[in-house]
Amino acid sequence: MSNEVNVRGYIVSKSSAYLRSIVSEAEARRIWEGFSPALNHAISQAKPAEWMPAAYSSEILRAIVAQSKGNEDHARDELIKCGRYIANEATNTFLRLLMRVLTPALFAKKLPGFWSRDSTAGRYEVDVTEDKITCHLKEMEAFEHIAPIGMGYVSFALEAMGKKITKTQLHGWSLSRTTAADGIWFELFWER
């Protein structure tokens, strides 16, 4: 593995599967023709645990955002849905059962480790209370749109624990500020 920032192959393959699910077949062909040859090869050959450049994921996420045609709320919502899709697809039966017995506090403690298992850079700083989880994204300049993706992933996990999300807040992300240098964070609130 080189010094470039990498993510696990399942992140690339599931992001591309989500993109394919929201566009027509003709649009998918057009988008895939515009992807770099390296990304197209990676999508077709991706193995879930294999390391791949984070730039591949960013290329796919930019294509998802492009479907929103500049509508920031729509782009954010699609990225959150993509994060949920990645979490759903990445969670096997055993982990789904585990999620039912995890508490938000235990999940918050484990989330930074989940991230470091699937990425070679960046980190999560997580705080949790009885009805809120706050995730600060640190040193993640290499990851475009990671904040709404992370929000989707965490919301999926909380709902798998039986929590009903009542409110979400995404701070510091916008279509003009896509990377997560320090200062981008999100909060999810649930019913007690």
pLDDT band of 181, cuts 50, 70, 90:
low
pLDDT for residue 140 is more than 80: yes
3-state secondary structure of 162: coil
Tokens of 175: 């279509």
CA-atom Rg of the chain in angstroms: 16
pLDDT at position 84 over 80: yes
Note the pLDDT of residue 164: 97
Q: What is the mean pLDDT of residues 124-133?
A: 97
DSSP letter for each residue of 72-133 = HHHHHHHHHHHHHHHHHHH--HHHHHHHHH--HHHHHHHHHHHHHHHBSS-EEEEEE-SSEE
Read off the pLDDT of residues 12-42 as tens digits, 9 standing for 90 and up.
999 999 999 999 999 999 999 999 999 999 9
CA–CA gap between residue 18 and residue 118 (Å, rounded): 18
Q: What is the pLDDT of residue 2?
A: 53
Q: Where are the domains of the chain?
A: 6-77, 87-190
